[in-house]
Amino acid sequence: MSDINNIVPSYLGKATSEEKNIFFKILVHLSASDGHTDEAEVKFIKEAAEIHGVKNIDDLFIENNEDELLQEVKIIKNRHLALELIKEMCMLSHVDNLLSDEETLFIGKVGIALGIEMEKIEQISNWIIDRIIWLEQAKYIFEEK
């Protein structure tokens, strides 16, 4: 999680302030959906939001109503940005090495709100899992501790 620019790259640079705000509100809600917000998740969200010029970052962490968030996320009309949000959600949900049912359900609900097909969400999720496995294999191959 140390290189935020690689995790949440420049596609957010083209997003409106409203799109950035809901993007990070969704990530905050996801981080709490399993009943426990990990410190690494909070750090990631705060650093990424700061890098991308989100104002009033602490306001992102105010508890939001899920139904309202699902309505608000519909302001994201750009399909690429919507797909990137799903990708970031999948990545964030694996930070603690445990993908909960609540996280999976929320990712699905956001995807549906954005008009993303369940098959596409599954494809993105599988790609993230493959990436995690690949990175872990690299540690073994290159004898990293």
Note the pLDDT of residue 41. Answer: 85
Token duo for residue 41:
């998740």
Q: Which two tokens stand for residue 140?
A: 């073994």
Range(s) of the domain holding residue 85: 4-141
Look at residue 95 and give its three-state secondary structure: coil
Among candidates 47, 52, 2, 45, which has minimal Cα distance to 27? 45
The residues near 87 (Cβ < 8 Å, ≥ 6 apart) are: 124, 127, 128
Between 119 and 53, the higher pLDDT residue? 119
Residue 15's identity, in one-letter code, is: A
The pLDDT tens digits for 32-77 are 998 888 888 888 899 889 888 899 999 999 989 999 999 999 999 9
3-state SS assignment for residue 118: helix
Q: 7 pLDDT exceeds 90?
A: no
CA distance linking residue 49 with residue 23, whole number of Å? 9
Residue 11 has pLDDT above 90, yes or no: no
Q: How many domains does the chain have?
A: 1
What would the two tokens of residue 97 be? 């090495």
For 50-94, give the DSSP string: HHTT-SSGGGGGS---HHHHHHHGGG---HHHHHHHHHHHHHHHT
Reported pTM: 0.88
Q: Which two tokens stand for residue 109?
A: 């609900």
Gap between the Cα atoms of 53 and 55, Å rounded: 6
What CATH code is carried by the domain that includes residue 115? 1.10.3680
pLDDT of residue 108 exceeding 90, the answer is: yes
